[in-house]
Chain A
Amino acid sequence: MISNLAALPIVIPLIVGVLAALFHKKLKLVRVYAQVLTLINTGVVAYILFYVHQNGSVVLESGDWMAPFGIVLVADMLSMTLVLTTNIVAIACIFYAPKSLSQKQEEFYFYTFYFLLISGVSGAFITGDLFNLFVFFEVLLMASYGLIVLGGEKVQLRESMKYVLINLFSSMLFVTTIAFLYSVVGTVNMAQIAERVGEVEQTGILTTIGILLFFVFGTKAALFPLYYWLPKPYIAPNPVISALFGALLTKVGIYSLLRVFSLIFVHERDVTHEFFIWIAALTLIFGSIGALSTNNIKLVVAYNIIPAVGFMLIGIGVYNSTGFSGTVYYLVHDMIIKAALFLLVGAVAYLAGTSDLRKIRGLIHHYPLLGWMFFISAFVLAGIPPFSGFVGKLVLLQGAMEADRIIIAIIGLGSSLLILLSVIRIFIRGFWGEKDESITPNRNAARGFIMPVAFLLFFSVLLGVGAEWFYPSIESIGDYLMNPENYIESILKE
């Protein structure tokens, strides 16, 4: 009975989302409904995380098919931590949505797509089956296709074509890779794949499949050189949708990399993990240069997704438990802060009436609180103590140092400076400067924008200041990832 807990974070949003479609035109009702049920879902997820923390992983063998034959759902500390973070981001977005979306966008199934997206993301985190991971990728991508064109403006339609095509292509590559893997190891259950790959000592063909899988997840996670599709489609839709995308979608890709390359393809690290370090370095450099290259404030934040993914890849590449803990910590931190930043620039663009940095000035005179919140989130993003970015980067770089990877640590630190510059530039030029008299301040709207962002920043600061409380759990996740036997045993029960 208790193992059914693992399915709840997927099933609840799915049902809620479908039901929301039934009364999509009754805006007041559907808003309250979505807000209340997001909170309830978060409560359930928090309880599951607590349960997993106390009693160990919950494994659901769906339909009572025994582990390697049926689809398994695995709620372990890693997946539940990420699902909880997803839901925290979701809470902020759902309270921000009514202020930011037009009536038409809300009526045309925003809430349905939103819940399906949450369901797909949670599913991708929880599933223990490689093909099922593909299915959940498709669920979340389908929802994101719906969200990205919501409103149907010219720019959205133009960018969504590219977005759908690149994702469709990488999904097909994913299916092909699974077929390859199936023909070699004869299973799609991740635990059993890991076991069998270990038995044959990962021959050349398996390493090739591993690299192919890396390219699939690398496309979804926006790693160098596969990130070119990301920035523009991400800024085309409404800010709240951008926030959901920026916080969740690429992180599912990096989570999959973390899972696959800590569990399955770990025997030829000279090839795979060495390669990751270089890719991480290039991702960091090109992503942070990209963030400096533009005056569009939304594009600056969208480009900032890329170096963050590079940081997380360092932790996977160095392959030690400190590195893995760093990746997990950074994953949680980045989901929260990316959502906060997207929501903030969305608010700035809305209040200033433009997203061109050259036309925005002196906003702090009108909206002091918004300005200081932006200032704090810039510091969180760049990793200035005592905020969460600092702890994440510290642990990651510590992992890199333990593996004697000095160069990547230096590149990481250097790109942090560029990231700080790219975001603080928005603060200096957009918020400082002379008062812009042509703007009539809209304090009411600003207040609606501020609350959800403050909620997210609270968690960011908590993660940083309270690192002492959270870090032991994250550290145990790092150890858990270093010892894949635990994962395999909890599923195959041998």
Chain B
Amino acid sequence: MEIIMSILAGVLFTTGVYNLLQKQMLRIIIGTALISHGAHLFILTMGELKTGAPPILEDNIELYTDPLPQALILTSIVISFGVTSLLLVLAYRASKENGTDNMEKLRGNEND
């Protein structure tokens, strides 16, 4: 199960990076979202996947799920959610102000 999840995270990373290298702003933002999904899935996988086990450690429980990765993911999801929404607004304003959403045309000149 862990191997399948790792491959899935890898696929998300590759598609994310592919989209990140595009010229259109919206594609780039979708790329970052995919990468962060890949990263989150990866953290979950790293804590070992177990079905039906409670996330607590008590004396009479032998099988338990590691709660730490879940706490880490939650934090990370919130952060990437915030950054993605910020990016969407930023991209909207940037494309409106500059008259293009093509990153190729947004290269800076030195003296402006």
A residues engaging B (CB < 8 A)?
A: 131, 134-135, 138, 142, 145, 149, 152, 154-155, 157-161, 164-165, 168-169, 171-172, 175-176, 178-180, 182-183, 188, 232, 294-296, 299, 356
| CB<8 Å pairs between A and B, sample of 26 | A135-B75, A138-B79, A142-B83, A152-B97, A157-B90, A157-B94, A158-B106, A159-B108, A161-B90, A161-B91, A164-B86, A165-B20, A169-B35, A172-B39, A175-B36, A175-B40, A175-B72, A176-B42, A179-B69, A182-B72, A183-B46, A188-B68, A188-B72, A294-B110, A295-B110, A296-B110
CA distance A232 to B109 in the complex (A): 9
CA distance A356 to B110 in the complex (A): 9
Q: A134-B76, A169-B20, A172-B32 are in contact. List 19 more A-B contacts (CB 8 A).
A: A135-B79, A142-B82, A145-B86, A152-B93, A158-B94, A164-B86, A172-B80, A175-B43, A175-B72, A175-B76, A178-B43, A178-B72, A179-B43, A180-B46, A182-B47, A188-B68, A294-B110, A295-B111, A356-B111
How near does chain B come to A267, taking the closest CB pair, in angstroms? 22
Query: Given contacts A152-B97, A164-B83, A183-B46, are A169 and B32 in contact (CB under 8 A)?
Result: yes
B interface secondary structure, majority: helix
Nearest-neighbor residue (CB-CB) of A299 within chain B: B110
8 A Cβ contacts from B48-107 to A = 68-69, 72, 75-76, 79-80, 82-83, 86-87, 90-91, 93-94, 97-98, 103, 106
Which of B25, B38, B45, B68 has a CB less than 8 Å from the CB of A161? B25
Cross-chain contact A157 with B98 (CB below 8 angstroms): yes
Query: Given contacts A152-B97, A179-B39, A294-B110, are A168 and B91 in contact (CB under 8 A)?
Result: no
What total of chain B residues lie within 8 Å of the partner, measured CB to CB? 37
CA distance A476 to B72 in the complex (A): 35
In the bound complex, residues from chain A placing their C-beta under 8 Å from that of B110 are 294-296, 299
Which of B46, B79, B82, B93 has a CB less than 8 Å from the CB of A182? B46
CA distance A145 to B75 in the complex (A): 19
Cross-chain contact B80 with A182 (CB below 8 angstroms): no
In the bound complex, residues from chain A placing their C-beta under 8 Å from that of B108 are 155, 158-159, 232
How near does chain B come to A116, taking the closest CB pair, in angstroms? 13
In the bound complex, residues from chain A placing their C-beta under 8 Å from that of B32 are 165, 168-169, 172
CA distance A232 to B110 in the complex (A): 9
In the bound complex, residues from chain B placing their C-beta under 8 Å from that of A155 are 108, 112
Q: Which of A157, A161, A169, A295 has the most CB of B within 10 A?
A: A161
How near does chain B come to A72, taking the closest CB pair, in angstroms? 15
Cross-chain contact A164 with B90 (CB below 8 angstroms): yes
How near does chain B come to A176, taking the closest CB pair, in angstroms? 5
Cross-chain contact A164 with B87 (CB below 8 angstroms): yes
Nearest-neighbor residue (CB-CB) of B108 within chain A: A232
Nearest-neighbor residue (CB-CB) of B83 within chain A: A168
In the bound complex, residues from chain B placing their C-beta under 8 Å from that of A183 are 46-47
Nearest-neighbor residue (CB-CB) of A174 within chain B: B39
How near does chain A come to B68, taking the closest CB pair, in angstroms? 7
Cross-chain contact B68 with A182 (CB below 8 angstroms): yes
In the bound complex, residues from chain A placing their C-beta under 8 Å from that of B43 are 175-176, 178-179, 182
In the bound complex, residues from chain B placing their C-beta under 8 Å from that of A172 are 32, 35-36, 38-39, 80
In the bound complex, residues from chain A placing their C-beta under 8 Å from that of B68 are 182, 188
Nearest-neighbor residue (CB-CB) of B109 within chain A: A155
Which of A145, A154, A178 has a CB less than 8 Å from the CB of B97? A154
Nearest-neighbor residue (CB-CB) of B28 within chain A: A165
In the bound complex, residues from chain B placing their C-beta under 8 Å from that of A152 are 93, 97
In the bound complex, residues from chain A placing their C-beta under 8 Å from that of B79 are 135, 138, 171
Q: Which of B28, B32, B110 has the most CB of A within 10 A?
A: B110
Query: Given contacts A179-B43, A188-B68, are A161 and B94 in contact (CB under 8 A)?
Result: yes
CA distance A299 to B38 in the complex (A): 36
In the bound complex, residues from chain A placing their C-beta under 8 Å from that of B91 are 161
CA distance A176 to B85 in the complex (A): 21
How near does chain B come to A353, taking the closest CB pair, in angstroms? 14
CA distance A164 to B31 in the complex (A): 13
Query: Given contacts A155-B108, A159-B108, A165-B32, are A179 and B42 in contact (CB under 8 A)?
Result: yes
In the bound complex, residues from chain B placing their C-beta under 8 Å from that of A178 are 43, 72
Nearest-neighbor residue (CB-CB) of A354 within chain B: B111
Q: Which of A142, A175, A182 has the most CB of B within 10 A?
A: A175
CA distance A152 to B92 in the complex (A): 12
In the bound complex, residues from chain B placing their C-beta under 8 Å from that of A296 are 110-111
Cross-chain contact A176 with B90 (CB below 8 angstroms): no
CA distance A299 to B83 in the complex (A): 27
CA distance A296 to B42 in the complex (A): 44
In the bound complex, residues from chain B placing their C-beta under 8 Å from that of A154 are 97-98
8 A Cβ contacts from B3-61 to A = 20, 25, 28, 32, 35-36, 38-40, 42-43, 45-47
Nearest-neighbor residue (CB-CB) of B43 within chain A: A179
Nearest-neighbor residue (CB-CB) of A184 within chain B: B46
In the bound complex, residues from chain A placing their C-beta under 8 Å from that of B75 are 131, 135
